[in-house]
Amino acid sequence: MDKRKWATGKRLVLITLMTVLANTPVLAAEQQEILTLQQIVDTAVKNNPAVMESQKRWEEKQARIALAKAWPNPQLGIMKDDIPKNSLNPFDAMMTEYTFTQDIMNPAKLKAMGKMASSDAGMAEANYRDKQMEVYSTAKSAYYDLLYADKALEIGKENQQLMGQLVQIAQVNYSTGMVPLQDTLRAQTEFSTMTTDLLNMASMAAVAKAKVNTILGRSADTLFAVQEEFSAPPPNFDLAALQKEAQTNKPAVVSMERQLAMAKNGVELANKQSLPDYQLSIGYKDRKQTMMDTQPDTWKMEFMVMLPLWQSKNKAEVRSAEASLDTAQASLATMKNMTDLDLQMALTEAQSAWRQIDLYKNTVIPQAEQTYQAGVVSYTNGKVDFMAVLDSLNALRNAKLDYYKARVDYEKAVANLEKAVGKPLFTSEAQP
């Protein structure tokens, strides 16, 4: 009996030591940067590599507007003529001709090409805004995933502390002969299992933190901590107003509208391919004055018209442009329909999560706490077995985790709602 008590006491000391270690904060955590939700979304929108790439793509398209409307570069030519057959020296030529040639594209074509380039730049700008909004929403979701991972670790530690108390109660009840050794061993096993769970939770938190770092555009192992914030208001949203806002100003919809405008300009340009282009050439002939040839220097001017005679080619270009226009119209309609669907889904998810928050906060958690406390008292008095108390402890832990997950899910659903609308609604400063 003494040996069993000694072994049990030894296990109890080990469990107490594990509890202290599990709840001892890491010294480096005190030196970590504390980031708010606002800081995370602002930094992500500004520094995320995907956003920066999209911005540079937009700047490239803007620079191409002037290029699309510009004339081709002129050509300058020098020709040496009448070089004696017994000489390879071009300076022995009897005549030097200088020419300047400029191709002139039809102004109507240049105008249409400029409009196409402008629409393309507008589409790139809308894609840049859409990428900002995507990163904004992703950053908020990653922030709340990290909050949940940290909270799960915190609840796990609290649960292990309660389990340590049960171990002590089991030890006391066993020493008095109220419960068998099996209860003590089972309590110790559960405590050890919780230690393993805590390690897994810590790994999940580390992965969530690395994801936030990646979205912020910095090294995945950068140390930081987050400040807990739940900023979204109750789900009393005006769906009709949100739909109107999304259909008008959502960057993804605007991008499709710019694509449609570019397709219309493409049809206009294809129809104008039947218009002629021009070429102007100016030349100057510098003649060597000799006894045999006294002709003076002369100028030469030439104006050419390039006729678009091959109408079958022009008609094929028109058909191709019209097909692209039909595709753009269908894509815009699809985007608007998907926007309405995304709004409805995000709003439904938000309302569902909100109802779960109320249920867990006001009903499930209070009942689980009462059940656990009653179970502990009954077990202390030997009225229920250990498994009943363990089940109530796990139920309490799950209720707390589910409540916090519902809060996180609500915030993420609201972030998806913002993404569907195309602009921040509930975060004050970040404005993609």
Cα separation of 375 and 31, whole Å? 41
Q: Is 63 in a helix, a strand, or coil? A: helix
Cα separation of 41 and 431, whole Å? 9
- Looking at residue 31, its pLDDT comes to 64
Residue 287 near residue 296 (C-beta atoms within 8 A): yes
Tokens of 229: 């914030």
Cα separation of 387 and 23, whole Å? 26
Burial 139-149 (b: 16+ CB within 10 A, else e): bbbbbbbbbbb
Residue 155 near residue 401 (C-beta atoms within 8 A): yes
- Looking at residue 85, its pLDDT comes to 78
Tokens of 199: 């390690």
Alpha-carbon distances of 313 from 17, 103, 276, 418, rounded to whole Å: 85, 21, 14, 47
Q: Is 132 in a helix, a strand, or coil? A: helix
| Amino acid at site 412 | K
| Per-residue pLDDT tens over the stretch 58-97 | 999 999 999 998 988 999 999 888 788 787 787 778 888 8
- Looking at residue 285, its pLDDT comes to 87
Cα separation of 402 and 146, whole Å? 15
Tokens of 288: 């060597």
Tokens of 217: 């555009």
Cα separation of 257 and 380, whole Å? 71
Residue bearing tokens 């904004």: 136
CATH assignment of 2-421, given 1.20.1600.10, 2.60.40.3120, 3.40.366.10, 3.40.50.720? 1.20.1600.10
Per-residue confidence in pLDDT tens, the chain, 432 aa: 444 444 444 444 444 444 444 444 443 445 678 999 999 999 999 999 999 999 999 999 999 999 998 988 999 999 888 788 787 787 778 888 899 999 999 999 999 999 999 999 999 999 999 999 999 999 999 999 999 999 999 999 998 888 888 888 888 887 887 777 887 888 888 888 888 889 999 999 999 999 999 999 999 999 999 999 998 888 888 889 999 999 988 999 999 999 999 999 999 999 998 889 999 999 988 877 655 566 778 888 999 998 888 778 888 989 999 999 999 999 999 999 999 999 999 999 999 999 999 999 999 999 999 999 999 898 888 888 888 888 999 999 999 999 999 999 999 999 999 999 998 887 544 433
